[in-house]
Amino acid sequence: MRLSDQQLQTFRREGCLFPQRALQAEDAGRRVAALQAFAQAKGQSLTALLRFKAHLRFRALEEIARHPAILDAVESLIGPDILVFTSTVWAKAPQDRRYVSWHQDSAYFGLDPHEEVTAWVALTDSRRDNGCLRVIPRSHLEADYSHEETGDADNLLIRGQAIRGLDENAALDVELEPGEFSLHTERTVHGSLANASARPRIGYAVFYIPPHVRSTLGRRSALLVRGEDRHGHWDADPVPVGDDDPAIEAYMQSAFRRYRDQEASSAA
Ligand SMILES: O=C(O)CCC(=O)C(=O)O
């Protein structure tokens, strides 16, 4: 299931590639139902509950993060040794005003070199009308963009970071069926509109790096999902024993604090 030479060329030229298939649509639907039941039991929204290292919290997501079809595609792009550095469920309810402003993940991820690749897996259908992921093709080949931190409450990004003044005519809608995924680089400018439809839009983004990539925000952790880590730049994340593992919960609190503290001190 490796990417063809043509797909590799497309990814390198455009900074994104889609659609690829990981799950059957029924399987994606079952995972959505399980996720919704989990969030309801915890009394939290999906996005609040599953923003940081979501694969450690919920088995159905860890399986996706380790899915062979996704890892084969990612291996074609970053090589046989693969770490998951974090993963996030991006959920928009029907008629949800929330959106994601144009941004480059490379401005915030604290990775060097910028070799991260994101697999964005559609758990529901993801179309223009329900606020699909959008990318600016070839933006990864441009110089770094500057971001303004808007703090807009409707922006799903924590700090509402936004690139202003982009030519929106260049945007490409990454429309996907349930179970399909897209790939983009951490330097590809991306975002998404509000959900104007009567359907939910739920996506699961998994952020992959090769182990030679370093953290520029101090020592952090990641989960090896394929191959070997011969570099030791990242502490090993624990492997969860089931959903909502209390040991993972405590670990996540401290990992997130460490991530945020280092981010804050490096920005100071
Ligand atoms: O799902 C979205 O709307 C935005 C996703 C995103 O920003 C990301 O995966 O980095």
Residue 82 Cα to ligand 1 middle (Å) = 21
Helix, strand, coil tally for the chain in percent (to 5) = 35, 25, 40
pLDDT at 95 (0 to 100): 98
pTM: 0.95
Task: State the pLDDT at residue 267.
Answer: 44
**What are the structural domains, with CATH classification, of the chain?**
5-267 (2.60.120.620)
Whole-angstrom Cα distance, residue 133 to residue 190?
7
The residue whose CB lies within 8 Å of the most ligand 1 atoms, and thus the one to mutate among 133, 182, 187, is 133
The atom of ligand 1 lying closest to the CA of 203 is 1
State the Cα–Cα distance between residues 111 and 162, nearest whole angstrom: 19
**Residue nearest atom 9 of ligand 1, based on CA coordinates:** 205
The answer to whether the CB of 121 is under 6 A from ligand 1 is: no
Torsions phi, psi for 256 (to 5 deg): -70, -40
Ligand 1 centroid to Cα of residue 133, in Å, is 6
All residue ranges of the chain with pLDDT < 70 are 259-268
Measured from the Cα of 131, ligand 1's closest atom is 3
* Alpha helix positions (H), the chain: 5-14, 25-42, 46-49, 54-57, 59-65, 68-78, 106-109, 246-267
Does residue 192 have its Cβ closer than 6 Å to ligand 1? yes
Q: What is the pLDDT of residue 254?
A: 81
Question: What pLDDT is attached to residue 263?
Answer: 58
CB atoms within 10 A of CB 33: 10
Which has the closest alpha carbon to 20: 189, 184, 191? 184
Question: So what's the pLDDT on residue 48?
Answer: 86
Residue 42 burial (10 A CB sphere; 0-12, 13-18, 19+) = middle
Task: Report helix, strand or coil for 82.
Answer: strand
pLDDT on residue 245: 84
CA torsion through residues 103, 105, 109, 111, sign: negative
For 39-96, write each residue's pLDDT tens digit.
999 999 998 889 999 999 999 999 999 999 999 999 999 999 999 999 999 999 999 9
